[in-house]
Amino acid sequence: MGDTNTFVFAAQKRSCSDDVDGGDAKKLMLFNPMAHSNGDPAAALASARHEFGEHGGVNMSIEASATFTVMEAETMRRMFTGELGPDRDFFVYSRHFNPTVLNLSRLMAALEGTEAAYCTASGMSAIAAVLLQLCSSGGHVVASRALYGGTHALLSHFLPRSCNITTSFVEVADLEMVDGAMVEGKTKVLYFESISNPTLKVANIPELSRLAHRKGVTVVVDNTFAPMVLSPARLGADVVVHSISKFISGGADIIAGAVCGSANFVNSMMDLQQGAIMLLGPTMNAKVAFELSERIPHLGLRMKEHSHRAKVFATRLKNLGFKVIYPGLEDHPHHELLKSMHNKDYGYGGLFCIDMETEERANRLMNHLQNHGQFGFMAVSLGYYETLMSCSGSSTSSELSSEEKVLAGISPGLIRMSIGYIGTLEQKWSQLEKALTRLEEYGFTNKN
């Protein structure tokens, strides 16, 4: 097992005199195993540092303490001046840094191929903190028209009222429109989703990043829909945000978020006087971080199955005549773009949409799929092992006005489906067919 004294020593709280000079203690450790993984997120995760339990357990211990002791009074002073920090295993208070949460942050950085990451209490808190860190009063954001409703409301209503931060919404597929909306010296952030919620439009991350960087604009990408599938930082993005509650959690039982980026940026968000995460306090509970750390190692396996089944079901539904939107289908307008950017082993994502044109038709289809076919659940969110379905216009995109929904391409009858992997593929297809057959018996179809 190696030198046992090393393990005993590592488990002890270090004193001020144990420390030696070397490097800037204010900085987080750089976690960049992606550099040695040929770009594969699973290989990067396997290269990330593994934390052992306090007594040598294969799983790390949960550090549930809110506050931490020091062995010498002088150590506390040095921690508060920033001379000693979490990069050397010195911890003060869990709203600042917690060892268990920091371990999850290392995994998220490995997953996204960034130098550092910080995990938060929710996806929305991660998004809000990033925008507030990058923009001050009078700041300007250019954002995609097709965004999660909560993000859209934050940008269009909350930030202008509370912070005097304004947003221009654009069609991110129109590169000329995006370029024209960004004003050099004024625009601080270009914000978009890698695969849009709920319309499943694919962003040209390399080209959008090039345009933004030419004008000194920071590129922030929400990669919630495509963990493992896309690596935005490797494609040119500066900051990647996640709602970990979705695919990464996989259990529909945890609310959490993450910010992934350069060590300088993540450290700026944890600054004692100017850091948006530090001062707004969207703290992740250590027990939640432990749970998520145990799920990330099998994320790659889950994403492969989510993507595989989504493609099979989308293809079969399209062959039956339904209007299906899925970027893995060759007739999707962004299929070739996604194919050129994605990590090919993980497919094209686990979501597709069926456009039933009207809300009444959408609701009737979902009712039959849940209550007669037992194919899935009518519920918001995504990334669960069961299939989840919702009519986006009247649920997760309800914050948008009718005009904004039209501009975003959200039909009143658009059903977003997050395809699960429980049961066998043919078993679930049979359940789907049963529900569709029952609808046809009632003379109800919406085929092309």
Contact 71, 14 (CB under 8 A): yes
115/112 Cα distance (integer angstroms): 9
Tell me: cis bond preceding 41? Omega within 30 of 0 counts.
no
Over range 342-361, report the average pLDDT.
94
Q: 299-319 vs 425-441: helix axis angle to the nearest 10?
A: 30
Beta-carbon contacts of 109 under 8 Å, excluding residues fewer than 6 positions away, are 31, 32, 48, 115, 116, 117, 260
Residue 4: its pLDDT value, please?
31
Over range 108-116, report the average pLDDT.
96
What is the residue-averaged pLDDT of the chain?
89
pLDDT band at 7, cuts 50/70/90? very low
pLDDT band at 160, cuts 50/70/90? very high
- Quote the pTM value: 0.90
- Taking 80 as the threshold, does the pLDDT of residue 90 lie above it? yes
175/337 Cα distance (integer angstroms): 14
Q: How far apart are the first and last CA of the chain?
A: 64
